[in-house]
Chain A
Amino acid sequence: MNILVSLSRKPWIWSFVAAFAVWVATILFTGGASTIGLSQAALTFAAFSILVGIGQMFVITLGPGNIDLCVPATMTLAGTVALKFMQVDNSLILPGLVVAIAIGVAVGIGNYALIKLLQIPPIIATLSMSFIVQSTAIWTNRGLRIKPPEALATFTTETTIGIPNVALVALVLSVLAFILLQKTVYGRWIAAIGQSIRAARMAGIPVDGTRFVTYVLCSILAAVCGYLLASFSGGAALNMGSEYLLMSIAVVVIGGTAVAGGNSNVAGIWGASLFMFLVVSMLNTYGAGAGIRLIMTGLIIIAVIVVAGGRNPNQR
C-alpha cells in the first residue's frame, strides 16, 4: 500500500497510467490482433518525440521563459544537409551523423549568442533563429527528396529482439540524460538555475556557461532526431519538423517537468510520448475523423494537466 502511495506522488506516473489506459483501450477494440504492431509503432514514433522532448526538457528546466522554438527548423536543416552529404553512400553514415551534430552545435551557439548578446527573451531569440535556419534548409533542399543510405534506412526501420532500433537509441540517450541530470554537477546546476537564477549566481555557479551548454545540447538532440527521422521516412522534407514544435513542449509538460523550471523528469517524457502517439492511433482505430481526433487530443492534454497539476500544487 505504501508503495502505491509513494508511486502516486511521482509526477511521471500519471503519463504512464494514461498511456497504458489508452493502449488497453485500443487493444480491446481490435480484439488483441494488433498488440505487437501497435506497440512497435508506438515505440518508434514516440522515440522521435522523446529525443526532442529531452532537449526541450533541459531548456525548460533552466527556468521561466526558457524554451527552444528552433527545434523543428534544426531538425529539418540537420536532416536535409546530412542526407545530402551522405549521398546514399553507406560508408558516409557516421560522418553524416557528425555533420548533423555539427549543425546542432552551430544552431545552439547561434541561439545562445542572440539570447546573451542581444538580451532577447529566449522565445523570440529562438523564433528569429528558426526563421533563419528554416530559410537555410529551404535553400539547401530545393524541393528535392534525397534518399538516405541503404544501411541507415534499414537500421532506423528495423527492430532488434522486437524493439525498434530508434527506440533503443532513444533509451540509451535517455539514460545518459538521466545520469547527466541526476548524477553530475552540471545537472544540479541546471536545476539550481531553474529554481533561482540569482541564488545560483551567488553560489558561484557558472550561469552563462551552463545555459550555453544547455541550449547547444537541445539543438544537438534536435539535429540527431532530424537525422534519424529523415532516414526513417525515406528522405528529408521541409515540413518534417513542424509537428514537433508543440509536441516537444507537450511531452515535457505532460511528463511532469515543472514548467516554471528547476525540476525535470526523464521518465515522464517516455510516458507522455507513448501517450501522445497512442491517443492518435486509438482515435484512428475508432474511425474518428481528423476534426474529432484533434478535439479529443486537445481535451486529453487539458484533462491530464488538470489532474497532474492538482496532484502537485507547487507546479506552475
Chain B
Amino acid sequence: MKKVLSSDTIRLLIPALSLTILLISVFYLQPRAMSYVGLNLLFNLAVPIALATIAQMLIMTVNDLDLSMGTFVSFVACVAATFLQATPVIGVLILAAAIATYAALGVLIHMRNLPSIVVTLGMSFIWGGLAVLILPAPGGEAPAWVRAVMISRPPFMPMAIIACIIIAVVSHFIIMRSSFGVILRGVGGNARSVERAGWSILGVRAATYALAAFFAILAGISLVGLTTSADANIALRYTLLSIAGVILGGGEFTGGRVSPIGAVIGALTLTLAGSFLSFLRISPDWQIGAQGAILIVVLGLRLLLNRLENRGKRS
C-alpha cells in the first residue's frame, strides 16, 4: 500500500484532507450549505483567488516571488470595469501591454540578476498608481459577458466548482505534463543544468512571467464579474493570500517543487476558512486571528504527515 502512494501524491493528500475536514465542519455547522446555492455561495470568491494563486505559483516555480500580485489584480479589475467594458479593443490592448510588461520584468530580473522581491515591490507601486489613475473612486461596471459567465448556473454543479476544476486541470497539464512545464520546474530546481542542456533560461523566465500575468488577468476579470464594480484597492490582500495558498497546497519557495492542483485546493481552503469562521459565530475581532490559527493548524498537520512519510521510508 505504501509503495502505491508516491511522495507527490502524499503532498497532495494533505491539502485535500484539510479541505475535506473544513468542508465537513461547515456542513455540520450549517447543513443548508450542502446545496447547489450553498456551495456556490461558499466558493464563489474562490475563483479569482485560485487564479491568482496559480499565477503566484508560476513565479515561485522559478524561485521568484511576486509581491505585486494584489495590486496587479486590482489594476486588471479596474481596466476590466472601465476600458474592457466600454471600449473592448483598447481594454484588450492594455491587458496585452500588461502581459508584455511582465515578460519584460522577467527579462530584467534575469539579465541584471535582480532580487524579484524588490522589483515586484516597485511594480506594486506602479500598478497601484495606474489603478488610481484609471479609477480614482470605486465604480465602473463589469462587462456583460463576464457577468453572464460568473453568474451562470450550469446543471448539477455550481459554476464556482466547475471553474476551479477547469483551472486545476489546465494548470496541471501546463506545469506537470507539458514539456514547457518540465523545463520550467527544471529552472527552479537547477537552472545551470537546464542551461547546459541548451535551453534559454531567459526565454523560460520571460514566458513564465507572461503566463503568470495571463492567469492574474483572468483573476482580475473574474473578480469584477463577481463584484460588478471595481476599486483600486479591491484585491490588495491577494498578494499574501496567493503566497499562503501555494504553500498550503504543498508548494515550496525554492527548488521548483509546486503542485497546481494543490494550489487550487489551498486557495479553496483559504476561502472556506473565512466562511467557516462566520458559521462558528466568532466575534469579528477574532476573524483574522482565527484565519491565522487555521493556517498554522493545517501546516502543523502537514509536518506531522511528512514525518510519518519519512518514517515509512526508513523502515
Contacts and interface: CB of A to CB of B under 8 A. Distances in A.
A and B interact: yes
Interface of A: 64-65, 69, 114, 118-121, 123-124, 127-136, 138-139, 246, 249-250, 253-254, 259-260, 289-302, 305-306, 309-310, 313, 315-316
Contact of B244 (A127, A134, A138, A139): A127
A135 B290 contact: yes
Contacts of B113: 309, 313, 315-316
A69 B127 CA distance: 21
B67 interface: yes
Contacts of A69: 240
12 contacts: A64-B254, A120-B299, A131-B292, A132-B293, A290-B132, A291-B130, A296-B129, A305-B114, A305-B115, A309-B114, A315-B113, A315-B115
Interface of B: 67, 108, 112-115, 117-119, 121-133, 136, 240, 243-244, 247, 252-254, 283, 285-293, 295-296, 299-300, 303
Nearest to B243: A123
A73 to B, nearest CB: 9
A249 B121 contact: yes
Given A305-B119, A306-B108, A291 B126 contact: no
A124 B244 contact: yes
Nearest to B119: A302
A299 B129 CA distance: 11
B289 A135 contact: yes
Nearest to B282: A135
A127 B126 CA distance: 24
B187 to A, nearest CB: 15
Contact of B129 (A129, A259, A291): A291
Contacts, number: 144
Given A249-B121, A316-B115, A119 B303 contact: yes
A298 B125 contact: yes
Nearest to A295: B129
B126 A299 contact: yes
B301 to A, nearest CB: 10
Given A135-B290, A253-B117, A65 B253 contact: yes
Given A118-B303, A301-B125, 18 more contacts: A65-B253, A69-B240, A118-B300, A121-B252, A127-B292, A128-B292, A128-B293, A128-B295, A138-B285, A253-B121, A260-B115, A291-B132, A294-B129, A298-B125, A299-B122, A299-B126, A306-B114, A309-B113
Contact of B136 (A119, A120, A123, A291): A291
Given A124-B295, A249-B121, A294 B285 contact: no
A301 B287 contact: no
A246 B124 contact: yes
Contacts of A119: 303
Contact of A302 (B123, B128, B254, B303): B123
Contacts of B119: 302, 305
A272 B189 CA distance: 34
A131 B291 contact: yes
A291 B296 contact: no
A297 B125 CA distance: 7
B283 to A, nearest CB: 8
Contacts of A305: 114-115, 118-119, 122
Contact of B125 (A65, A133, A295, A315): A295
A295 B133 CA distance: 10
Contact of A249 (B117, B287, B300): B117
B112 A306 contact: yes
B239 to A, nearest CB: 10
Contacts of B125: 294-295, 297-298, 301
Contacts of A127: 240, 243-244, 292, 295
Nearest to B63: A64
Contacts of B136: 290-291
Contacts of A64: 254
A128 B67 CA distance: 17
Nearest to B123: A298
A131 B295 contact: yes
Which of A114, A129, A260, A309 has the most chain B CB atoms inside 10 A of its CB? Answer: A309
A139 to B, nearest CB: 4
Contacts of B290: 135
A257 to B, nearest CB: 10
B287 A135 contact: yes
Nearest to B304: A118
B204 to A, nearest CB: 18
A260 B117 CA distance: 11
Nearest to B132: A291
Contacts of A121: 247, 252-253
A296 B123 CA distance: 10
Given A309-B112, A309-B113, A302 B122 contact: yes
Contact of B122 (A129, A139, A298): A298
A292 B67 contact: no
A124 B151 CA distance: 33
Contact of A130 (B67, B130, B132, B292): B292
B114 A294 contact: no
A302 B286 CA distance: 37
B216 to A, nearest CB: 17
A30 to B, nearest CB: 24
Nearest to A135: B289
